[in-house]
Amino acid sequence: MTIEYLKKAIKAPAFVEAETRRIVAEMLSEIRAGGEEEAKAFGKSLDNFSGQIIVERHEIEAAARLVPDQLKEDLKFAYDRVREFAEKQRESIKEFETELSPGLWAGQKLIPIETAGCYVPGGRYAHVASAIMSISTAKVAGVENIIACSAPNKEYGGVHPAILYTMDMCGADHILALGGVQGVAAMAYGLFTGHKANILVGPGNRFVTEAKRMLFGQVGIDLFAGPTEILIIADCSADPEVVAYDLVGQAEHGPDSPAWLVTTSQKLADDTMALMQGLIDTMPQVQRDAANAAWRDYGEVVLCDTDEEAAQVSDDYGPEHLELQVENLNWYAERLKNYGSLFVGEEATVAFGDKCSGTNHILPTKRASYYTGGLSVHKFIKVVTTQRSTRAANREVAAVTARVSRLEGMEGHARTGDIRLSKYFPGETFILSP
């Protein structure tokens, strides 16, 4: 059993820095105290935006006129698939009631969250796909109020027209021209809309992520997300050019985005590594700089002797995105346990899921796949339980409750069973102590 690192990351994934925590904590405190005016002030100082925070209908209609017809068709293509997948997820969970013993019923009820806050990044890239992933999924879940926010774009003097169009298409009820911590805080505190978000979802930079972390508890969140990750398991049947393109495709997200290759083929590893720098060099400058740093500092290539070793290495990493470019696809798909989203075969690639193929791209990073999946319709629905009982069923349930409660030393609990037994079955004798 041999696992060899042909390329090893020279940096470890960064966790939240103390300075980031301090900045976010101060901003949240100031916005909580100063309300809408303080949120506007941060928008002006950080995004150089002094316009209206609530986006009006006429602005949305004007933005729609700036979006090319082909892009509208593409956005509709993505929206239809994400919405349909979310609908299938919604259908997979049911309300029910079952009789557990004679006269004792227990049930499950599904209650959509009242208000969701959907953060859509609008900084380096115009993340229209993130609007689709969060807003349409919340809509399918039945969320009553959907607030969406995105940072104003300097070129357009407000939210990027394509983001604005997409937010509206997906069903956002309120749209805020506000980004960063101030956008997250506005949704959490109910600023500008009068609706406090019960859950905050959507990707963002480290300040957005930390703001969500600090607000967790006051509100729910989708997950704690870090820089995006890709891991590809490939064998001798894989095309090194395709593998390299897919690694570069995710590395362009940012300078701290890990790209990992796990392979059972020395030749595939060598050929892929030989292609990487050339592909990175052909990228536009912003993407080239990000991919260069990501591959240099966080890229890894792991050579394994067997499929089982490769699968174990992958499970240890618990990657956000996991691609399989191997002959033994079914074996790997059944064997693997820890990942955010799985892409089976060369024909399925991370970018498809990121943009339009239907599954959600808001996914766990930094090994969070050990305990959670990504954003889904389930995140917007509370699964609550119900109980009802006949008087006859109390003969068993109340007596057992009384005995167990007294064993635990909880006399008050025990007496709630006692009173029902004495009321419903006067004259009968019960054993009420363990």
CB 164 within 8 A of CB 60: yes
- The closest alpha carbon to 397, from 423, 413, 417, 419, belongs to 417
Instruction: Please spell the DSSP secondary structure of 27-67, one letter per residue.
Output: HHHHHHHHHHHHHHHHHHHHH---S-SBPPHHHHHHHHHHS
Alpha-carbon gap, residue 17 to 35, rounded angstroms: 26
Q: Which long-range contacts (CB under 8 A, 24 or more apart) does 422-429 make?
A: 424/391, 424/394, 424/395, 425/394, 425/395
Q: How far is CA 325 from CA 3, 4, 237, 241, in A?
A: 19, 20, 8, 12
Beta-sheet pairing, 259-263 with 174-177:
unpaired
Q: Which residues pair with 158 in a beta bridge?
A: 153
3-state SS class at 186: helix
CB 233 within 8 A of CB 207: no
Q: Which residues pair with 140 in a beta bridge?
A: none
For the packed helices 206-215 and 180-189, what is the interaxial angle rounded to 10 degrees?
20
210 is catalytic: no
Residue 155 per-residue DSSP state: T
Alpha-carbon gap, residue 63 to 58, rounded angstroms: 9
- 284 CA to centre of own chain: 28
Residue 351 per-residue DSSP state: H
321 is catalytic: yes
Beta-sheet pairing, 220-221 with 199-201:
parallel
Q: Which of 320, 323, 346, 361 is catalytic?
A: 320
Q: Which residues pair with 96 in a beta bridge?
A: 108
Q: Which of 321, 323, 346, 361 is catalytic?
A: 321
Unique residue bearing structure tokens 């690639």: 349
Q: Which helix (H) or strand (E) holds 111?
A: strand 104-112
Alpha-carbon gap, residue 146 to 59, rounded angstroms: 18
List the catalytic residues: 320-321
